[in-house]
Chain A
Amino acid sequence: MTLRDSMLATLLTALALTAMPWLVSDFALALTLTCLMYAGLAVSWAMFCGATNYLSLATAAFFGMGAYVTAWGAEGLPYGVAVLIGGLVAAAIAGLVGAAVLHLRGAYFAVITFGLGELVRHAITYYEKAYAGTVGRVISEPPDSVTIYHTVLLLAALAVITALAVRSSRLGLALRGIGSDEERARTLGVNTRRAKIAAFSLSAFFAGALGAAMAMRWTYIDPLTVFNPFIGFQTVLIAMVGGAQTIIGPVASAVLFSLLTEFLRLQFPYLFLILLGLLLILLVLYLPGGLASLLVRWRWRKSGA
């Protein structure tokens, strides 16, 4: 594919996605929205975790924080501003938490980031019960579904563009160095602490903004829904199955996952989680490099022929 071809393809995809609300049924649009949400989450997760080999389970925490910014600000804040603030709050908290725990690695980091979601969830539940006298929140005047769709589309596109920009930047090089050998990267002049905090915080921005955008879609939110650890796990799985070192991998895998989940749920309502689990195990066993490695293999074969 030449540069012109790929630019044309990108433009057409963008157009098609933008026009989607007027082209397809409500069901298909809802499905597309889920695809876009997970594409945005998985790409932004991979932006930090894919390059550095960190395993963060904090996606649900940032997503939920964004959702609550929307819920609390629903009366006073315009939708766009709420989404922006949702992202910024998540990024700021990621920066603070990152400064405290990014020196940890492996299982320790995973457990702490998982705990962060639980901590925030319980803190908000307590606060709502004690001071607001409520468990969940209803968003009384949500924007129409087309606006929400376009917001999520914009965020997913921004996540992809940011991931591309990071990958070709010095920050991206630093992150790859950290993933490969952090101490070696330090001896070559990388302030690894700063690079990690910056990237972790940047990736949290998208999770927060997507949470803020999606809260409007759900109209009723409570801590259990928006801090659902499943969101975090699903994001990690999508990114890993797609190939966390790449950008196209998580996007493709987000689409595949969302469609597959929906299909299995409709066809095998009782078996779908079992089937999904089985499929995952097979993928991890036989395609450890993710879906993106298929593309590499295919290209390699084509050039070799």
Chain B
Amino acid sequence: MREALLSAQGVTVHFGGLVAVDGVDLEVHAGEMVGVIGPNGAGKTTFFHTLSGVLVPTAGRIAVAGDDLTGKSAHIYAAHGVARTFQTPRVFKEMSAVDNVRFGLEFAGRTRQHAHDAFDDPFAILDFLGLAAVASVPAGGLTPSRQRLLEIGMALGARPRVLLLDEVASGLTHAEVEKTAQLIRRVRDELGLAVIWIEHAVRVLMSYVERVAVLHQGAKIADGDPRSVARDPAVVEAYLGEEGDTQRMAA
């Protein structure tokens, strides 16, 4: 079997007495698009923090392309090709949109080549995301949904091999979600990225990913293709009372 591009083993995070992430294993290969879902407070974002080096897990091991990066700083993860977005956009507000994209190209993306040349130019990335018109506008002046897209652009600038998307679809209209999802799929296909996508809105995610992992109270309770995961009794149980999402999932 091929070696996983990103591999998390037994990742655990304690905040004081609270167990936010509880022994999660996850392996993702190049070209794979994996969704991570779970009710509010399931530990999805905390898990992402560990995968990007923002947070050092209390226990467990994280490897990227075979290199053990556990305990390393976030810039080492970035240098290994892990790029991420944040749930609340964290763009460099005072910098222009194009400088925000250029940032990743100048640092994490400096030593790597993309399979596709189109992404070597920050303007091309903005164009791809439909942000070409606002290239010179300070990022803080963009609408929240454009900042969300710009977050993806910043991550693409880092020439990633693994792309971590944290609720990029939240707050977008249905049409915008559709467009963003197609963008992500296109990037994945053109660059052969491994994509891990967290979304609270389960239905959106299920239609775009080939595999989905479910977190509940910090632990992984299911991992597989969307259809079978949606029928998994443990998942149904976890989502009971959660806005009837499971009925829609199964439907």
Chain A residues within 8 Å of B, Cβ to Cβ: 170, 173-174, 176-177, 180-181, 183-193
Contacts and interface: CB of A to CB of B under 8 A. Distances in A.
* Residue of B78, B92, B95 with most chain A CB atoms under a 10 A cut-off: B92
Contacts of B103: 173, 177, 185, 188
B67 interface: no
23 contacts: A174-B107, A176-B95, A177-B95, A180-B92, A180-B93, A180-B94, A180-B95, A183-B90, A184-B90, A184-B92, A185-B107, A186-B54, A186-B73, A186-B78, A187-B54, A187-B74, A188-B78, A189-B78, A189-B104, A189-B110, A190-B107, A191-B73, A191-B75
Contacts of A188: 78, 83, 103-104, 107-108, 154, 157-158
Closest 10 CB pairs of A and B: A189-B108, A189-B107, A189-B78, A186-B74, A180-B92, A188-B104, A184-B90, A186-B75, A187-B74, A190-B107
A189 B158 contact: yes
Contacts of B94: 176, 180
A184 B157 contact: no
Given A174-B107, A183-B54, A184-B86, A189 B75 contact: yes
Contacts of B83: 187-188
B147 interface: no
* Residue of A183, A185, A189 with most chain B CB atoms under a 10 A cut-off: A189
Contact of B92 (A170, A176, A193): A176
Contacts of B79: 189
A181 B90 contact: yes
B106 interface: yes
A187 B52 contact: yes
B22 interface: no
B78 A187 contact: yes
B167 interface: no
Nearest to A187: B74
Interface in B115-156: 154
A173 B54 contact: no
Contacts of B102: 173
Interface string B150-181: 00001001100000000000000000000000
A140 B78 CA distance: 56
B192 interface: no
A193 B76 CA distance: 12
A88 B93 CA distance: 35
Nearest to B85: A187
Nearest to A192: B75
A189 to B, nearest CB: 3
B75 A190 contact: yes
A190 B76 CA distance: 9
* Residue of A173, A185, A188, A190 with most chain B CB atoms under a 10 A cut-off: A188
B84 interface: yes
* Residue of A174, A184, A186, A187 with most chain B CB atoms under a 10 A cut-off: A187
A11 to B, nearest CB: 31
B110 to A, nearest CB: 7
B86 to A, nearest CB: 7
Contacts of B75: 186-187, 189-192
A170 B54 contact: no
Contacts of A190: 75, 107
Given A188-B83, A189-B158, A173 B73 contact: no
A150 B160 CA distance: 51
A170 B79 CA distance: 16
Nearest to B84: A187
B102 to A, nearest CB: 8
Nearest to B92: A180
A183 B86 CA distance: 11
Contacts of A193: 73
Contacts of A170: 106-107
A177 B78 contact: no
B100 to A, nearest CB: 9
A136 to B, nearest CB: 46
Contacts of B43: none
Interface in B61-79: 73-75, 77-79
A180 B99 CA distance: 13
